[in-house]
A and B are shown apart, each in its own frame.
Chain A
Amino acid sequence: MNPSATPTAIPPHWQNLVHTGVPDSEPVLNSLELDLDVDLHFKHSLLLLTSQGLLCLDALGQIKPFPYQNGSALRQHDHAGLGTLTLFLGETRIAFWRYTLSLDPAVQRFIHQFDRLRDSSTSGLPLVPEVQACCEQCGADLLEGHCPQCDNAEERPPSTWTLLRLWRFARPYRWQLLSGFLLMLASTAATLVPPYLTMPLMDKVLIPYQNGTPIDTITVSWLLAGLFGSAMMAWGLGWAKTYILALVSERIGADLRTETYEHLLKLSLEYFGGKRTGDLMARIGSESDRICVFLSLHLLDFATDLLMIAMTAAILISINPWLALVTLLPLPIIAWMIHKVRDKLRTGFEKIDRVWSQVSNVLADTIPGIRVVKAFAQEDREATRFRAANASNLQVNDHINKIWSLFSPSVTLLTEIGLLVVWAFGIWLVSRDQITVGVLTAFLAYISRFYARLDSMSRIVSVTQKAASGAKRIFDILDHVSSVPEPTSPTHLNQISGRITLRDAGFRYGNRAVIKGLNLDIAPGEMIGLVGHSGSGKSTLVNLMCRFYDVSEGSISIDGVNIRQLPIAEYRGNIGLVLQEPFLFFGSIAENIAYGKPDASRAEIVAAARAAHAHEFILRLPHGYDSLVGERGHGLSGGERQRISIARALLIDPRILILDEATASVDTETEKEIQKALDNLVQGRTTIAIAHRLSTLHKADRLVVLDRGEIVEIGNHDELISRQGAYYRLYLAQARNVDADIDDRAENEVIV
Chain B
Amino acid sequence: MSGLELQLQRDPSGQLIYTDAAGNEHHNVHVVRAYPISAPDEGISLLGDDGHELIWIATLTGLSASSRIIVETELATREFMPKIASLKSVSSYATPSVWKITTDRGDTTLTLKAEDHIRRLNDTALLITDSQGISFLIADSAKLDRHSKKLLDRFL
Q: Mark A724-752, 1 if CB is under 8 A from B, else 0.
A: 00000000000000000011011011111
Residue of B21, B51, B133 most packed against chain A (CB within 10 A): B133
Assembled-state Cα–Cα distance A92/B15 (Å): 10
Residues of chain A within 8 A (CB-CB) of B63 are 752
Q: Which of B20, B51, B80, B115 contacts A81 (CB 8 A)?
A: B80
Among A40-48, A333-341, A375-383, which stretch is in contact with chain B?
A: A40-48
Chain B 91-127 interface mask (CB, 8 Å, partner A; 1/0) = 1111111000001011110000111100000000000
Interchain nearest-CB distance for A60 vs B (Å): 15
Given contact pairs A157-B97, A749-B53, A100 touches B58 in the complex (Cβ within 8 A)? no
A interface, over-half SS: loop
User: Are B154 and A347 closer than 8 Å at their CB atoms?
Assistant: yes
Nearest neighbor of A751 in chain B, beta-carbon distance: B56
Q: Which residues of A contact B24 (CB under 8 A)?
A: 748
B136-152 CB mask vs A (1 if < 8 Å, else 0) is 00000000000000000
Tell me which of B14, B58, B108, B131 has the highest count of chain A C-beta atoms within 10 A of its own C-beta.
B14
A-chain residues with CB within 8 Å of residue B105 when the two chains form the complex: 36, 40-42
Q: Is A511 an interface residue (CB 8 A)?
A: yes
Given the known interface contacts A511-B132, A752-B58, the answer about A42 and B92 at a Cβ–Cβ threshold of 8 Å is: no
Cβ A748 vs Cβ B96 within 8 A: no
B41-85 residues at the A interface, CB under 8 angstroms: 48, 50-58, 62-63, 76-80, 82
Check if B13 is an interface residue, CB within 8 A of chain A.
yes
- Known A-B contacts A274-B114, A347-B154, A708-B51; the reply to A88 vs B13 at CB < 8 A is yes
Total inter-chain residue pairs, C-beta < 8 Å = 113
- On chain A, the residues within 8 Å of B78 by CB distance are 79-80, 82
Query: Does A93 contact B13, Cβ atoms closer than 8 Å?
Result: yes
Interchain nearest-CB distance for A747 vs B (Å): 8
The residues of A that contact B92 with a CB separation of less than 8 Å are: 157
Min CB gap A184→B, angstroms = 32
- Shortest CB–CB separation between residue B146 and chain A, in angstroms? 15
Tell me if A81 and B56 are in contact (CB < 8 A).
no
Which of B50, B79, B95, B132 meets A102, CB within 8 Å?
A: B132
* Contacting pair B106 A43 (CB below 8 A): yes
Whether A42 contacts B108 by the Cβ 8 Å rule is: yes
Shortest beta-carbon contacts, A-B, top 9: A511-B133, A42-B106, A81-B134, A93-B14, A92-B12, A82-B80, A81-B133, A157-B92, A42-B108
Contact of A82 with B134 in the complex, beta carbons under 8 Å: yes
- A354 in contact (CB, < 8 A): yes
Do residues A472 and B94 form an inter-chain contact, with CB atoms below 8 A?
Answer: yes
A35 within 8 A of B: yes
What mask results when residues 10 to 50 of chain B are scored 1 for a CB within 8 Å of chain A, else 0? 01111000001110100000000000000000000000101
When distances are taken between beta carbons in the complex, the residues of chain A under 8 Å from B54 are 748
Q: Within the complex, what minimum Cβ distance (angstroms) separates A165 from chain B?
A: 13
Interface code A348-389, partner B: CB below 8 Å = 1, 0 otherwise?
001100100000000000000000000000000000000000
B154 to chain A: which residues have CB within 8 Å? 347, 350
Please tell me if the beta carbons of B156 and A351 are within 8 angstroms of each other in the complex. yes
For B57, give the chain A residue with the smallest CB separation.
A752
- Residue of A35, A156, A510, A748 with most partner-chain B CB within 10 A: A748
Q: Which residue of B lies closest to A346 (CB)?
A: B93
User: Chain A residues near B20 (CB, 8 Å)?
Assistant: 748, 750
Q: Is B135 an interface residue (CB 8 A)?
A: yes
CB distance from B35 to the nearest CB of A (A): 14
Q: List 14 A-B contacts (CB under 8 A).
A: A40-B80, A42-B103, A80-B78, A80-B135, A82-B78, A82-B80, A102-B132, A160-B94, A354-B115, A743-B50, A743-B52, A748-B55, A752-B4, A752-B55
Complex Cα distance A88/B13, Å? Answer: 7
Q: Write out, one digit per residue, whether chain A residues 415-437 have a CB within 8 A of any chain B CB (1) or not (0).
A: 00000000000000000000000
Q: Please, which residue of chain B has its CB at the minimum distance from the CB of A742? A: B50
From residue B97, how far is it (CB to closest CB) to chain A in Å? 6
In contact, B116 and A274 (Cβ under 8 angstroms): yes
For the complex, give the distance between the alpha carbons of A743 and B11 in Å: 24
Contact A750 B56 (CB under 8 A): yes
- Contact in complex: A510, B94 (CB < 8 Å): no
The yes or no answer to A565 lying at the interface (CB within 8 A) is no
User: Is A101 an interface residue, CB under 8 A from the partner?
Assistant: yes
Closest to B32 in A: A79
* A748 near B132: Cβ-Cβ < 8 Å: no
CA distance A350 to B24 in the complex (A): 59
CA distance A512 to B133 in the complex (A): 9
Task: Contact check, B133 vs A80: say whether CB atoms are below 8 A apart.
Answer: yes
Q: How far apart are B44's CB and chain A's nearest CB, in angstroms?
A: 9
Look across to chain B and name the residue whose beta carbon is closest to the beta carbon of A84. B77
